[in-house]
Structure 1
């Protein structure tokens, strides 16, 4: 299998934050095409181990080929929301967990995967093509009210109602099967195009997030990271839009603050359990990286350490 072009974002920064012990056990929860995994393995000694996780069968096949000769690496097919199953014998012993969220370049750039509103392909959008319903099945069968909810909640689309109405009217005549067909209907229903952004961007993002359960998976993965990490272990998360980053920021802040206690409860500050501490400030791609890889412009990396 030939390597497909995919530039991992904040590559060195993520590895710097994640790898604190060359002999530790690490999880790359979003293997993709192995950019981050390769750099992590460079930092590990002979006793170090890296478990890659990905829900995309193509990514799993690629991982098995790319790192076939490295006994420190293993790959598991599934969502990072279930990484506690993949590392069941390492609960409380994981040195670091990396989550590089969103869609990978091979998924986005290959028309047959159905993620792109710029290239014509089957309307699929599933990261795991072995299960779940496709975007076409969902768009053609869901109620108008639910379309509106998803577009608003996951796409932050202010014209959600107009776009959902246009989709429902068109599908009554002919079901949606192709990406460009849907993109054109959404485009025509958008009365105020944003400069430099395709009119269907937010709707396609919303459908992708919903079809793949991305935010629910992220919530589960964040909670499970607390069970898996050893004291001093690092959680590194790279997000690409405000919905993801908001979840990550809130999670770290709440765990750093500790549980909310009733006012007047006679508990000393030193007795409050705070599972995480934030490490440094949020990191963004520098100008050089943004110039070389435009997709890195929206990336935000946050780091936390298990207490």
Structure 2
């Protein structure tokens, strides 16, 4: 994993993946008691940053691959399905049966074949490996893949430029974290391009495997596979590739509750007029509701593929 790999991935996706804005709202700053800048990846193609990693991986498939297979609860699924369709290659996506219906429907709409599995009873990795071997498909996991990490690192390249334009030389950069692909890629890019910006991972309570792993230096797992509204970032443990990067470059991990994530969804809509899903809003929740942060914070809103009922419930409950 190198800065050159991130730059190469960014070059391949130029003209296909959007440069998303870095947003600020004075009323949101006033509420938080600090300046908050939001990297709005919810405005990305397919509705999340996963379009970046999907394009990076599919555009660099190994010779002889007959297509691509990905595992995802929905955002990586859509990113890979979209990229595969654009490159004219078949895609099979292994998704949990409890994934939001809108994410399953959108993945199929991009032309991918969806294979559903049970998070608790089924071995996702074994199922995916079997299908990939049988059909000759290249396996593209959601975070523990060099090209996926490189693609997500393009977010960090953009943040470095946009922060400099905004006059930000020092800040914590809060990143929504599942397995760590986005946070690892961003950390590598910022380490090279904007060393005054420090990545901190943010996870939902009960699924803080990355925060615990950053303390121990070992890959810590979660006791449960389900149980949070933040479906997009419920992963069993950090990646073997991502943890060493973050252990070297990131600050302490942070954790927020489901209620805080839902309140952040409502506030993002109220003050920034963007749609965020709960898992994509955990970094904003930490920026809003945690005290151990500097006066300027940059955070990702990493996805906007919200289940309509959950989104409407967040607005009704917390005031959108």
Q: TM-score, normalised by structure 2?
A: 0.29
Max Rg structure: 1
Q: TM-score, normalised by structure 1?
A: 0.30
The structure whose RCO (Cα within 8 Å, separation 6+) is larger is 2
